[in-house]
Amino acid sequence: MNISPEERDAVYKTIFSRRDVRREFKPNPIPHDVLDRVLLAAHHAPSVGFMQPWDFILVSKRESKTQIKQGFLQAHAEAAELFEGERKEQYKSFKLEGIEEAPLGICVTCDRSRTGSIVLGRTAKPEMDLFSSVCAVQNLWLAARAENLGVGWVSIVHDKVIRDTLNIPESIDIIAYLCVGYVEEFHDTPDLERAGWLPRRDASSAIHYESWPESSKE
């Protein structure tokens, strides 16, 4: 199956305009057919040994969101203490999640024992199953962007809070908690770049030929 240049450009448009959304969520619900498409795209991520270790827990209950938001506030306060001076004040000033504003939360998990203990392709690299679930997150994120839905990955919360709130057994790994919803706008650049927290690396600095660059070898 061939992808045309126009279709290719649509993929690039989606990749380059994808954002981590924290403050621009609108309350409008996500239509079922839209959500089904996004989740099906996530489910078609690559997975090691075709184990498809992911699950998606859809969170719309207010009590659950409140509980996860409390977990965020605690982890955020802990984190703030790790920064110093101006950096700490800047960190505290950022809005870093939209847990309660987004109409939907999606928890993406990884069942490492799915399909048994010996998994084709995981034998030499045990973390491959976790990475498969991360690929599902990125598929979900891009599909959502293609539907003009914003996604924000909330990582400033301890797994235990999400586990307790959503009744996730200890045997299941928590990969991501995502906030999903329509948005007021998609900014041209990432929030942290715009705020001057860190600059965008020049792409060429990340590309090397044939081996790790000698100069930066430790």
Name which of residues 172 to 201 contact a second copy (CB under 8 A). 172, 175-176, 186, 190, 192-193, 197-198, 200-201
Residue 6 to residue 2: CA distance in whole angstroms: 11
Q: Coil, helix or strand for 111? A: strand
Measured CA angle at 183 (ends 179, 188), to 5 deg: 105
Q: Which letter does DSSP use for residue 177 in this model? A: E
Q: How far is the CB of 127 from a second copy (least distance, A)?
A: 7
Q: Is 26 in the site for a second copy (CB under 8 A)?
A: no
**Given 99, 168, 180, 183, the residue binding a second copy (CB under 8 A):** 168
Q: Is 77 in the site for a second copy (CB under 8 A)?
A: no
Residues contacting 102, CB < 8 A, separation 6+: 25, 150, 152, 179, 180, 181
Q: How far is the CB of 214 from a second copy (least distance, A)?
A: 8
Residue with tokens 């030499």: 124
Q: How far is the CB of 101 from a second copy (least distance, A)?
A: 18
Closest to a second copy by CB, 27 vs 200, is 200
- Among residues 146, 139, 141, which one has the least CA distance to residue 180? 141
Q: Is 66 in the site for a second copy (CB under 8 A)?
A: no
Q: How far is the CB of 96 from a second copy (least distance, A)?
A: 7
Size of the site for a second copy (CB under 8 A): 104
Residues contacting 146, CB < 8 A, separation 6+: 10, 14
Residues 99-158 that bind a second copy (CB under 8 A): 115, 118, 120-125, 127-128, 130-131, 134-135, 137-139, 141-143, 145-148, 153, 155-158
